[in-house]
């Protein structure tokens, strides 16, 4: 789930711009489309590509929507876009409403419409694995429209019209009918410069505690698959197993 961001100071959830009262007029569908896509991708650039617009056009749509509402919908950082609490709220309702509209339009169009596949997955998996493969897929299947919901939030597949959910979980927790796509290997990594700064030697898992540990914040409740806590637990289990194996080796050789 995209995390609600709080701006610093008095701007947290405050009206955009000069904090004028919100305008009492209907919100345009185009602005809501632009906002929904940007909220789903957490990127104006990806939203623009999906909607066949320029990045500046989507940015202007969102800015106009913020002015109409009187609240900031995004916290804009140098390389990151985050939803504010107001943005989170509007994203949920807009996503559901547009999903209903899109399904109704598809039903009216019937067989004349191009088939569409809606995929939901994590932002990192979408950008690093899925999006780079889309061009080849669309060359092979030019009549299929792909829509990506790049968030880790829990979704109602039926209510939101989602066809495919790409999620990470242990095999035993996979829902019925799930298909394993790939296995992920996660391992600690650090730069040579950082290693030298802290003495240049790592002889045991305990030595890592001297270093600044960076951990990915997962959107999966209770998930510890790639956490440092789980890694240290595994390292201790592995160390104990190796010690036992070393103890047995002389006896077997004798």
pLDDT digits (tens, 9 = 90+) for 21-39: 555 667 888 999 999 999 9
* DSSP per-residue letters across 192-203: HHHHHHTTS---
Write out pLDDT tens, residues 92-140. Answer: 899 888 888 887 877 777 655 577 888 988 888 888 888 899 889 989 9
CA atoms of 8 and 14, how far apart (whole Å) = 10
Helix axes 55-69, 29-41, angle to 10 degrees: 110
CA atoms of 39 and 85, how far apart (whole Å) = 12
Higher pLDDT, 83 or 190: 83
Reported confidence tier of residue 62, pLDDT bands at 50, 70, 90: very high
pLDDT at 39: 92
Q: Indicate whether 252 pLDDT > 50.
A: no
CA nearest neighbour of 177 among 186, 165, 185 = 165
Q: What's the sign of the alpha-carbon dihedral 88, 163, 49, 131?
A: positive
**Strand ranges inside the chain, DSSP E:** 74-76, 81-83, 116-121, 145-150, 164-165
Instruction: Give, as one character, the DSSP assignment of residue 23.
Output: P
Average pLDDT in the 234-250 region? Answer: 56
User: Could you tell me what percent of the chain has a pLDDT over 70?
Assistant: 75
Q: Indicate whether 231 pLDDT > 80.
A: no
Lowest mean pLDDT among 170-179, 219-228, 234-243: 219-228
Q: Indicate whether 154 pLDDT > 80.
A: no
Write out pLDDT tens, residues 2-25. Answer: 343 434 444 444 544 444 455 566
What residue ranges define each of the domains in the chain, with the CATH number in brackets? 1-108 (1.10.10.10), 114-184 (3.40.190.10), 192-253 (no CATH)
106 neighbors 56 (Cβ within 8 angstroms) = no
């Amino acid at each position: 789930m995209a995390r609600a961001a709080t701006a610093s100071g008095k701007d947290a959830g405050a009206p955009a711009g000069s904090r004028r009262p919100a305008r009492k007029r209907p919100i345009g569908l185009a602005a809501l489309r632009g906002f929904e896509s940007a909220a789903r991708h957490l990127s104006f650039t990806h939203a623009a590509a999906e909607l066949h617009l320029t990045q500046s056009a989507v940015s202007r749509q969102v800015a106009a929507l913020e002015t109409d509402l009187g609240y900031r919908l995004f916290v804009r950082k140098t390389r990151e876009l985050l939803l504010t609490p107001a943005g989170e709220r509007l994203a949920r309702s807009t996503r559901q409403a547009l999903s209903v509209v899109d399904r109704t339009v598809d039903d009216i169009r019937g067989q004349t419409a191009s088939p569409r596949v809606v995929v939901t997955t994590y932002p990192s998996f979408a950008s690093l694995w899925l999006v780079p493969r889309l061009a080849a897929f669309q060359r092979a299947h030019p009549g299929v429209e792909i829509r990506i919901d790049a968030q880790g939030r829990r979704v109602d597949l039926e209510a939101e019209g989602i066809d495919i959910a790409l999620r990470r979980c242990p095999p035993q927790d996979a829902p019925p009918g799930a298909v394993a796509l790939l296995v992920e290997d996660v391992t600690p990594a650090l730069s040579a410069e950082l290693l030298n700064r802290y003495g240049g030697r790592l002889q045991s898992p305990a030595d890592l505690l001297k270093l600044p540990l960076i951990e990915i914040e997962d959107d999966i409740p209770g998930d510890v698959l790639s956490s440092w806590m789980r890694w240290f637990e595994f390292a201790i289990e592995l160390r104990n197993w190796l010690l036992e194996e070393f103890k047995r080796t002389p006896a077997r050789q004798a």
